[in-house]
Amino acid sequence: MKTCPECLNKVNDIVRVCKYCGHIFHSQPLAPPAPVKRTLPKLSFTCSLIIALAVLATLSVVYYASVDGFRSQPKPTADPATPIDAVIMCDQFVKDILKAPKTAEFQNVYQAESTETTPDNFTVTSYVDAENVFGALIRTSFTCKVRYVGNDEWQLDDLEIDE
Protein backbone atom coordinates (compact mmCIF):
# COMPACT_ATOMS: atom_id res chain seq x y z
CA MET A 1 0.00 0.00 0.00
CA LYS A 2 1.00 3.58 -0.56
CA THR A 3 -0.37 6.80 0.80
CA CYS A 4 -1.89 9.34 -1.50
CA PRO A 5 -0.15 12.66 -0.94
CA GLU A 6 -3.35 14.54 -1.66
CA CYS A 7 -5.95 12.89 0.50
CA LEU A 8 -3.69 10.75 2.64
CA ASN A 9 -5.80 7.68 1.96
CA LYS A 10 -4.10 4.43 1.47
CA VAL A 11 -4.32 3.06 -2.01
CA ASN A 12 -2.95 -0.02 -3.66
CA ASP A 13 0.63 0.20 -4.81
CA ILE A 14 -0.16 -0.64 -8.38
CA VAL A 15 -2.84 2.02 -9.04
CA ARG A 16 -1.89 5.07 -11.08
CA VAL A 17 -4.81 7.23 -9.95
CA CYS A 18 -6.08 7.67 -6.45
CA LYS A 19 -9.56 6.26 -6.27
CA TYR A 20 -10.51 8.76 -3.60
CA CYS A 21 -9.35 12.07 -5.00
CA GLY A 22 -8.13 11.37 -8.49
CA HIS A 23 -4.51 12.18 -7.76
CA ILE A 24 -2.30 10.91 -10.50
CA PHE A 25 0.68 9.00 -9.37
CA HIS A 26 3.62 9.43 -11.65
CA SER A 27 4.80 6.20 -13.03
CA GLN A 28 8.06 6.41 -11.24
CA PRO A 29 9.54 3.19 -10.14
CA LEU A 30 9.36 2.42 -6.55
CA ALA A 31 11.95 4.41 -4.77
CA PRO A 32 14.82 2.25 -3.77
CA PRO A 33 14.70 1.49 -0.15
CA ALA A 34 16.63 3.99 1.84
CA PRO A 35 19.98 2.58 2.69
CA VAL A 36 19.91 1.12 6.09
CA LYS A 37 22.73 2.24 8.20
CA ARG A 38 23.89 -0.29 10.64
CA THR A 39 26.21 0.66 13.39
CA LEU A 40 27.55 -1.44 16.13
CA PRO A 41 25.74 -0.81 19.32
CA LYS A 42 27.70 1.83 21.09
CA LEU A 43 29.64 0.54 23.99
CA SER A 44 29.28 2.38 27.15
CA PHE A 45 32.31 4.33 28.27
CA THR A 46 32.94 1.97 31.17
CA CYS A 47 32.77 -1.02 28.90
CA SER A 48 35.24 0.53 26.47
CA LEU A 49 37.54 1.39 29.31
CA ILE A 50 37.51 -2.16 30.62
CA ILE A 51 38.29 -3.54 27.17
CA ALA A 52 41.08 -1.01 26.70
CA LEU A 53 42.57 -1.93 30.04
CA ALA A 54 42.29 -5.62 29.27
CA VAL A 55 44.12 -5.15 25.98
CA LEU A 56 46.73 -3.05 27.70
CA ALA A 57 47.19 -5.62 30.43
CA THR A 58 47.60 -8.38 27.86
CA LEU A 59 50.16 -6.37 25.95
CA SER A 60 52.03 -5.62 29.15
CA VAL A 61 52.13 -9.27 30.11
CA VAL A 62 53.41 -10.22 26.68
CA TYR A 63 55.96 -7.44 26.80
CA TYR A 64 57.29 -8.23 30.23
CA ALA A 65 57.25 -11.94 29.50
CA SER A 66 59.45 -11.37 26.51
CA VAL A 67 61.75 -9.06 28.42
CA ASP A 68 61.94 -11.58 31.21
CA GLY A 69 62.61 -14.35 28.76
CA PHE A 70 65.40 -12.31 27.29
CA ARG A 71 66.92 -11.57 30.66
CA SER A 72 66.73 -15.15 31.83
CA GLN A 73 68.87 -16.30 28.93
CA PRO A 74 72.41 -16.02 30.13
CA LYS A 75 74.92 -14.74 27.66
CA PRO A 76 77.52 -17.37 26.85
CA THR A 77 80.22 -14.99 27.99
CA ALA A 78 78.51 -14.63 31.34
CA ASP A 79 78.97 -18.30 32.12
CA PRO A 80 81.29 -18.45 35.05
CA ALA A 81 84.30 -20.59 34.39
CA THR A 82 84.55 -23.39 36.90
CA PRO A 83 87.62 -25.22 38.19
CA ILE A 84 86.33 -28.32 36.42
CA ASP A 85 86.29 -26.40 33.14
CA ALA A 86 89.87 -25.44 33.83
CA VAL A 87 90.88 -29.08 34.31
CA ILE A 88 89.17 -30.08 31.08
CA MET A 89 90.98 -27.31 29.23
CA CYS A 90 94.33 -28.19 30.76
CA ASP A 91 93.82 -31.79 29.72
CA GLN A 92 93.24 -30.52 26.18
CA PHE A 93 96.38 -28.39 26.23
CA VAL A 94 98.45 -31.30 27.54
CA LYS A 95 96.95 -33.66 25.01
CA ASP A 96 98.10 -31.30 22.26
CA ILE A 97 101.73 -31.87 23.17
CA LEU A 98 101.57 -35.56 23.95
CA LYS A 99 103.41 -37.87 21.60
CA ALA A 100 100.62 -40.43 21.63
CA PRO A 101 97.51 -38.51 22.63
CA LYS A 102 95.19 -41.36 21.72
CA THR A 103 96.57 -43.40 24.56
CA ALA A 104 96.17 -40.61 27.08
CA GLU A 105 94.27 -41.39 30.21
CA PHE A 106 93.89 -38.31 32.33
CA GLN A 107 93.22 -38.22 36.01
CA ASN A 108 89.53 -37.88 36.74
CA VAL A 109 88.70 -34.21 36.35
CA TYR A 110 86.96 -34.21 39.71
CA GLN A 111 90.04 -35.54 41.44
CA ALA A 112 92.47 -33.17 39.81
CA GLU A 113 93.55 -30.19 41.83
CA SER A 114 92.17 -27.00 40.45
CA THR A 115 92.16 -23.66 42.17
CA GLU A 116 91.00 -20.30 40.99
CA THR A 117 93.90 -18.08 41.96
CA THR A 118 92.28 -14.90 40.72
CA PRO A 119 88.96 -14.54 38.93
CA ASP A 120 89.08 -16.60 35.72
CA ASN A 121 92.67 -17.68 36.42
CA PHE A 122 93.12 -21.31 37.36
CA THR A 123 96.03 -23.47 38.39
CA VAL A 124 95.50 -27.14 37.72
CA THR A 125 97.64 -29.96 38.99
CA SER A 126 96.92 -33.35 37.50
CA TYR A 127 98.52 -36.21 35.65
CA VAL A 128 98.12 -38.20 32.49
CA ASP A 129 99.00 -41.78 31.72
CA ALA A 130 100.16 -42.14 28.16
CA GLU A 131 102.45 -44.26 26.11
CA ASN A 132 105.87 -42.92 25.40
CA VAL A 133 107.71 -43.37 22.13
CA PHE A 134 108.65 -46.88 23.20
CA GLY A 135 105.03 -47.86 23.84
CA ALA A 136 105.52 -47.88 27.57
CA LEU A 137 102.73 -46.42 29.63
CA ILE A 138 104.13 -43.69 31.80
CA ARG A 139 102.51 -41.23 34.14
CA THR A 140 103.22 -37.58 33.55
CA SER A 141 102.31 -35.03 36.16
CA PHE A 142 101.71 -31.49 35.10
CA THR A 143 100.87 -28.11 36.49
CA CYS A 144 98.89 -25.98 34.16
CA LYS A 145 97.83 -22.36 34.40
CA VAL A 146 94.92 -21.32 32.27
CA ARG A 147 92.86 -18.22 31.95
CA TYR A 148 89.27 -17.96 30.84
CA VAL A 149 89.04 -15.12 28.35
CA GLY A 150 85.30 -15.45 27.60
CA ASN A 151 83.28 -16.81 24.73
CA ASP A 152 84.24 -20.34 25.73
CA GLU A 153 87.85 -19.56 24.99
CA TRP A 154 90.74 -20.33 27.26
CA GLN A 155 94.31 -19.27 27.16
CA LEU A 156 97.21 -21.34 28.30
CA ASP A 157 99.45 -19.22 30.48
CA ASP A 158 101.88 -21.80 31.77
CA LEU A 159 102.44 -25.52 31.54
CA GLU A 160 104.99 -27.39 33.61
CA ILE A 161 105.45 -31.05 32.93
CA ASP A 162 107.28 -33.32 35.33
CA GLU A 163 108.74 -36.09 33.25
CB 1 to Zn ion: min, Å: 13
DSSP one-letter string for the chain = -EE-TTT--EE-TT-SB-TTT-PBPP-PPPPPPPPPP--PPPPPHHHHHHHHHHHHHHHHHHHHHHHHHHHHS--GGGSPP-HHHHHHHHHHHHHHH-SSGGG-EEPPTTTSEEEEEETTEEEEEEEEEEE-TTS-EEEEEEEEEEEEEETTEEEEEEEEEE-
Instruction: Kindly list the residues in this chain that would bind Zn ion in the complex (CB under 5 A).
Output: 4, 6-7, 18, 20-21, 23
Q: How far is the CB of 4 from Zn ion (least distance, A)?
A: 3
Name which of 27 and 118 has its Cβ closer to Zn ion.
27
> 22 vs 150, which CB is nearer to Zn ion?
22
In the complex, the smallest distance separating the C-beta of residue 29 from Zn ion, rounded to whole angstroms, is: 20
Q: 2 or 95: whose CB is closer to Zn ion?
A: 2
